[in-house]
Structure 1
């Protein structure tokens, strides 16, 4: 039975409307590596219970897929609903979660049920729960304890039968210590934990996932099934995959676009530092571009100076220029604001979630690290 599992891995995948191409979510998960096999055993043990489950893992590791699998194994007949707490509008978040009555606030033209009511008899998955505002954490705690919701503008409680699953890619204990997350809520939702390791810690899953994506995209592109050469397989196994499963999917998709035959070779794999990397050494984000002006030399229009330096970089054929430039911008903004994510996001004109994603992508943020945490932004660690 064990040999059969190794050769025919269990594959979980998002299909149809759940598999948006621009999503940062992992859209497939396999259980081939021994670490993943132990994880699957734990999931199967937890699924039939009613206990809340906390899934902890980096972005792109497949947390939503684990939550969906828990729901499928739970025997619940109701729907599975997934909500990203970081994407909810703060002003409408309470209405989204708990519902509202007609006329309860400006724009509430009719009665509306919230996510808890919509998930009746099923499972509600709250992703990035660490981004939930404090005032909603209080109300969420009450719903979980009383198993009932009260819509905005109503005094009548509505009983709900919902299995609760949450996920986070940050250290909630650090959030509690910083005053950004309620300790009593953490105790309530952290009864059963599932730690989802990053892809680099379960290398036995890399090639089965790659083959899954090759088969999937070959079918979409109507090109016939491609295959990895032995050197290409080594390239995939030698890479650290900071973007986890989502990055692997992108690499395979790109490889199939540029490969001229059914063979996927190392040069088709857009991975930095692996066998498929450029022969020229890539420039680290801490190394300046040539002829960078000093602060005393910057003119009144700094963008003009940047444009001039980019022209020099273009002429010299700098490898991975876009990635290096983005890394430099993100790093300097983070340093300028003394490693504060909120201020860095405001400085660059992006959301905090986008800033956090870029910090992780360029190795400036480490999950669960305690070094460098600040009271202003508990998600930060020094790069």
Structure 2
């Protein structure tokens, strides 16, 4: 009777595995697939018969197989991993986004037989996410704020025109990003987009960069060099921080915009130019005009269409969208599979004032990526300055991984009042391991605080 019950139990387990929508497969210690359920076959396009007996990476061809295999970690460390993100390649060579969970495969006697992995197809979720994102996205700009939606609404018409555009906004609000978006959806999109920071160069260098020069025009001019106006011919020239230019340079630029011609330094004849001008500034040009620091006639030339980009503190509803964008971008660039941010982290990010605007938020997420190896970004991965009363500590080392680890340990010690037991628990390592790393890296412990 007992044998019959066990057989019934095995049959029931098989029925359950075949009926669930998640793909499930098992492997032995040779990484050979020993079972492969119906959902796994449907998602991959590979039948159970063809999958069993093959190595798992031959079947899935996943990005995780190359560098971040959760199943490998489970087999090596003997612990489960939940919701690692990645993709697999189906039999039809289609990239399928998935999340995977892994654990050891253990029989009723406690013997380890291999590993088991479940994976969920997120194609539909990804399509919905893209569809939703498209409603709040133009080119590489994402936003859900009313002020940005107003800009999105007229951007296609502005891009279609040939009019000059002036973009005003604080540093880090994405002025160049908006300029690129205008170019990328305009009839000039197949021609160059060239940006130059006008405030970073003195007049003489700025003129040679924009207009170019001929051989012998000055001491070190050993050959002809085309300027940005020539290089951007047929495309778009983005003049950033135009409010920082001198009156003398503004006269030269105004002449080019009026006549659609320029003269390279040392040249005898003028050259025609066909570029669209998009200018940007973090200053109020009308205020500079009132103080006679900017020419009014040049202002009217570049201010045919004006955009005012709001600072991030006035469009905080965009923070979750921006965080998601930066995480996806950094996952691709760094080959990681960070899922997102913990609720406490998002709450912290929503509470900041962002004097550095979007650029500041992107830097915070990139900092967190150095310290976050997998899963979600949590509070311990954020920079020191986000914690009241803490002072940033700078570690300098040629090895960025070592630098990041030192900072991670130091930050954990600060948050736990230098209690090493608590810091080790937060870091997920044994206390003795933390002691060895503190000694190895020469991390100083403040004796006046608890050092248990």
Q: TM-score category by the smaller chain? A: 0.5 to 0.7
Q: 1:89 to 1:220 in 2, by over 3 A?
A: same
How far apart in 2 are the matches of 1:55 and 1:148? 24
CA deviation after TM superposition for structure 1 residue 12, in Å: 4.3
Whether 1:152 aligns to 2:265 is yes
- The aligned runs of 1:242-261 (5 Å cut-off) are 242-259=355-372, 261=374
- The aligned runs of 1:198-213 (5 Å cut-off) are 198-213=311-326
Q: 1:219 to 1:130 in 2, by over 3 A?
A: same
How far apart in 1 are the matches of 2:137 and 2:384? 26
How far apart in 1 are the matches of 2:219 and 2:373? 58
2:278 match: 165
> Contact 2:313 / 2:354 at 8 angstroms: preserved in 1?
yes
CA deviation after TM superposition for structure 1 residue 105, in Å: 2.2
Aligned length: 265
CA deviation after TM superposition for structure 1 residue 259, in Å: 3.5
**10, 33, 45: which one aligns with 2:137:** 10
- The aligned runs of 1:88-167 (5 Å cut-off) are 88-167=201-280
TM-score w.r.t. length of structure 2: 0.54
**129, 135, 154: which one aligns with 1:42:** 154
How far apart in 1 are the matches of 2:370 and 2:390? 23
> Contact 2:198 / 2:241 at 8 angstroms: preserved in 1?
yes
Secondary structure class of the residue paired with 1:60? coil
Task: Name which structure has the greater RCO, CA cutoff 8 Å, separation 6+.
Answer: 1
Whether 1:54 aligns to 2:181 is no
2:24 match: none
How far apart in 1 are the matches of 2:168 and 2:332? 33
> Contact 1:34 / 1:204 at 8 angstroms: preserved in 2?
no
> Contact 2:203 / 2:249 at 8 angstroms: preserved in 1?
no
CA deviation after TM superposition for structure 1 residue 162, in Å: 0.6
> Contact 2:338 / 2:377 at 8 angstroms: preserved in 1?
no
Secondary structure class of the residue paired with 2:266? coil
CA deviation after TM superposition for structure 1 residue 269, in Å: 2.7
- The aligned runs of 1:1-383 (5 Å cut-off) are 4-5=131-132, 9-10=136-137, 12-13=139-140, 29-76=141-188, 77-259=190-372, 261-270=374-383, 277-278=386-387, 280-281=388-389
Q: 1:199 to 1:50 in 2, by over 3 A?
A: same
> Contact 1:90 / 1:133 at 8 angstroms: preserved in 2?
yes
CA deviation after TM superposition for structure 1 residue 225, in Å: 2.5
> Contact 1:239 / 1:271 at 8 angstroms: preserved in 2?
no
CA deviation after TM superposition for structure 1 residue 198, in Å: 0.9
Secondary structure class of the residue paired with 1:166? strand
CA deviation after TM superposition for structure 1 residue 214, in Å: 1.6
Secondary structure class of the residue paired with 2:160? coil
Q: 1:12 to 1:48 in 2, by over 3 A?
A: closer
Secondary structure class of the residue paired with 1:91? helix
CA deviation after TM superposition for structure 1 residue 134, in Å: 1.7
Secondary structure class of the residue paired with 1:58? coil
Q: 1:172 to 1:46 in 2, by over 3 A?
A: same
CA deviation after TM superposition for structure 1 residue 191, in Å: 1.2
Q: 1:159 to 1:248 in 2, by over 3 A?
A: same
Q: Which is higher, the Rg of structure 1 or of structure 2? A: 2
> Contact 2:143 / 2:321 at 8 angstroms: preserved in 1?
no
Q: 1:146 to 1:260 in 2, by over 3 A?
A: closer
Secondary structure class of the residue paired with 2:210? helix
TM-score w.r.t. length of structure 1: 0.64
Superposed CA deviations along residues 21-41 of structure 1, whole A, max 9, x for unmatched, are: xxxxxxxx3132232222111
CA RMSD of aligned residues (A): 2.6
How far apart in 2 are the matches of 1:220 and 1:93? 33
Structure 2: which 5+ residue stretches go unaligned?
1-127, 392-412, 416-452
CA deviation after TM superposition for structure 1 residue 266, in Å: 3.2
CA deviation after TM superposition for structure 1 residue 233, in Å: 1.6
Superposed CA deviations along residues 316-344 of structure 1, whole A, max 9, x for unmatched, are: x999xxxxxxxxxxxxxxxxxxxxxxxxx
> Contact 1:104 / 1:153 at 8 angstroms: preserved in 2?
yes
